[in-house]
Structure 1
Amino acid sequence: MQKIDSIQEFDKLVDSGETFFFLKHSTTCPISGAGYDEFAKFDQNGTDQLYYLTVQDSRELSNYIAEKFHVKHESPQAILFVNSDVAWHASHFKITSKSLAAAKEENVK
């Protein structure tokens, strides 16, 4: 997993057209902590592009993603980007390693 802090880094990633998962999470919320743990658990295979931001550190980027892609901000929130657009997203307890795997299976050919 790689932390992204700036709009420029994020835009470069989106513009690459790569398929990747992105997680927004809060360091002060236990539900967000659980989402982060599930995201990290999903990362164990090491074959997926996984990025995240911490809402407290990157509020501007978090808001930018919500506005640009019309995905209402929630925390925690996992988003799958395919072909430079949102293909799937989930929040709170819907973020599990199984739901991430299913999203990849359904949206990545």
Structure 2
Amino acid sequence: MGIFNKIFGSSDTSEAPEPSKLQWARLTEMSQLDTIVEESKTKPVAIFKHSTRCGISNMVIKQFESQYDLEENQMKVYYLDLLSFRPISQEIAARFQVWHESPQLILVKNGVTVGHASHSQINAIPLEQFV
């Protein structure tokens, strides 16, 4: 089944993104949303909501990682395994006023959403315009 997992994604919900040049911060606690708001006052924050069971989500996160070209100090990037942390995903939708989709990228600056996209549109967002 290895080839099918590579094409369609694995059903293992414990998977994290593969190592990349991106320094992912894992989003696992509701209190981190307050931290994100505060951090976004000094540099933009991105939240990547990822479904570990979805082939499209797996494809998009790999593309996002390979195309990401900001320096580590320019943007903080959080990774949310939304299957394992669904209540956090729901709170993100409410707090940042963005309809839930998966995969989804939400950009926060000065405590508010300044951009968001889902599916293949994630990789079309020019991240440098938010720095």
The TM-score with structure 1 as length reference comes to: 0.84
What does 1:7-86 align with in structure 2 at a 5 Å threshold? 7-16=30-39, 17=41, 18-43=43-68, 45-47=70-72, 48-86=75-113
Secondary structure (helix, strand or coil) at the match of 2:31 reads helix
Bigger radius of gyration: 2
CA-to-aligned-CA distance 1:8-29 (integer Å, 9 cap, x gap): 0121121232311110010000
Which stretch shows the higher mean deviation, 53-62 or 33-42? 33-42
When the two chains are superposed, the root-mean-square deviation of aligned CA atoms in Å is 1.7
Structure 2: which amino acid aligns with 1:70? Q
Structure 1: which amino acid aligns with 2:38? D
Structure 2 spans left out of the alignment, 5+ residues = 1-23
Secondary structure (helix, strand or coil) at the match of 1:67 reads helix
Give 1:45 shift.
Answer: 4.4
> Which among 80, 104, 109 is matched to residue 128 of structure 2?
104
More helix by share: 1
| 8 A contact 1:38–1:95 mirrored in 2 | no
Residues in 1 aligned to 2:46 and 2:108: alpha-carbon distance in whole angstroms: 6
Secondary structure (helix, strand or coil) at the match of 1:50 reads strand
Residues in 2 aligned to 1:75 and 1:95: alpha-carbon distance in whole angstroms: 10
| 8 A contact 1:39–1:95 mirrored in 2 | yes
Structure 2: which amino acid aligns with 1:27? T
Identity of aligned residues (%): 32
Which stretch shows the higher mean deviation, 55-64 or 38-47? 38-47
The TM-score with structure 2 as length reference comes to: 0.71
Residues in 2 aligned to 1:27 and 1:76: alpha-carbon distance in whole angstroms: 10
Structure 1 spans left out of the alignment, 5+ residues = none
For residue 2 of structure 1, what is the aligned residue in structure 2?
25
Residues in 2 aligned to 1:44 and 1:3: alpha-carbon distance in whole angstroms: 20
